[in-house]
């Protein structure tokens, strides 16, 4: 993929963030999500790719735009796209931190077609890559990560979605001595944070959305981090959905390379509300300021983009003399 496309991808997530950020704190999560979808879909039209949505807003009969299988882009290299125009709808609705507009892109056939179901996940940064085991007890994984980071378990902070299903994980982590950061929604942002020094988190663990898991895997692959995952079907319908999308073994432990294939991938995110890594959208008279991250696996490049957008441009009048 052309590296010059990186900034074009950033413009796509910026558009979604600016549109949905207007709804922050207004209690209208569906309106915020709809604004993000509309803006992201329109922005894709100007990008020189022939893109196919493999992870999106649902099936064609469930979503009018950015549905699975939809073709986007202005024409060019064939790529697969995973999108979440608004990751953390409740966060925006309540004005809480951590919501982002996010996408992952790889050459055609480069992303796992993850069905919309739950997925078990464990994510760590580069120093702990190769040290985790999704089948091992929580305490064992914590010890392995602590050793890799040259610190004690008591020095670790792990991120877990605040759900009843995670009571056992939380209990084992507390017993082991780790500090826990419970989040209400949106596990893509913290998955990125574990792989970047200075964010203050060292591991993400628990069960969340499978589509979001693939997007997080793209980020972690670009950053040199590690992730293991396993689909968590709740019923036969989930199993049938996975098989329909080409996943024959729903119990398989998935690695990063199982979720993001090949030697090239982009990951892009723009913050909507304030986060540990990125600043949320800030509006001013006639414009807004956004903060994004764009990374590429092939080059290992990670860029932060701090952008000012002018919505209105006043005409320049030159006085004749």
Nearest residue to 266 (alpha-carbon basis) of 117, 59, 49: 49
Long-range contacts of 241-245 (CB under 8 A, 24+ apart): 241/115, 241/116, 241/117, 242/115, 242/117, 244/115, 245/113, 245/114, 245/115
The annotation places the binding site for substrate at 87-89, 118, 163-165, 185-187, 209
Q: Which residues are annotated as a binding site for Mn(2+)?
A: 33, 57, 84, 87, 212
Q: Would you list which residues are annotated within the binding site?
A: 33, 57, 84, 87-89, 118, 163-165, 185-187, 209, 212
């Amino acid at each position: 993929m052309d590296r010059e496309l990186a900034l074009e991808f950033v413009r796509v997530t910026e558009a979604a963030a600016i549109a949905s950020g207007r709804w922050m704190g207004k209690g209208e999560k569906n309106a915020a999500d709809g604004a993000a979808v509309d803006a992201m879909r329109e922005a894709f039209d100007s990008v020189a790719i022939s893109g196919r949505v493999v992870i999106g807003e649902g099936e064609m009969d469930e979503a009018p735009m950015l549905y699975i299988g939809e073709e986007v882009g202005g024409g060019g290299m064939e790529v697969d796209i995973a999108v979440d125009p608004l990751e953390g709808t409740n966060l925006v609705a309540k004005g809480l931190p951590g919501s982002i507009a996010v996408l992952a892109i790889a050459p055609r056939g480069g992303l796992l077609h993850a069905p919309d179901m739950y997925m078990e996940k464990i994510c760590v940064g580069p120093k702990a890559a190769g040290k985790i085991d999704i089948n091992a007890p929580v305490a064992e994984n914590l010890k392995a990560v602590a050793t890799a980071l040259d610190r004690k378990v008591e020095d670790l902070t792990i991120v877990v979605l605040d759900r009843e299903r995670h009571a056992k994980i939380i209990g084992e982590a507390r017993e082991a001595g780790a500090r826990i950061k419970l989040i209400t929604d949106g596990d893509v942002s913290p998955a990125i944070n574990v792989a970047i020094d200075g964010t203050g988190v060292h591991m993400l663990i628990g069960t969340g959305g499978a589509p979001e898991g693939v997007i997080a895997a793209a980020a972690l692959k670009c950053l040199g981090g590690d992730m293991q995952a396993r689909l968590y079907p709740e019923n036969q319908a989930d199993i049938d959905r996975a098989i329909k999308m080409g996943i024959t073994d729903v119990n398989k432990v998935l690695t990063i390379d199982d979720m993001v294939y090949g030697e090239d991938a982009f990951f892009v995110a723009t913050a909507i509300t304030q986060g540990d890594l990125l600043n949320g959208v800030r509006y001013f008279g006639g414009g807004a300021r956004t903060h994004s991250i764009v990374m590429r696996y092939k080059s290992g490049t990670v860029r932060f983009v701090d952008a000012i957008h002018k919505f209105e441009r006043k005409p320049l009048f030159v006085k004749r003399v």
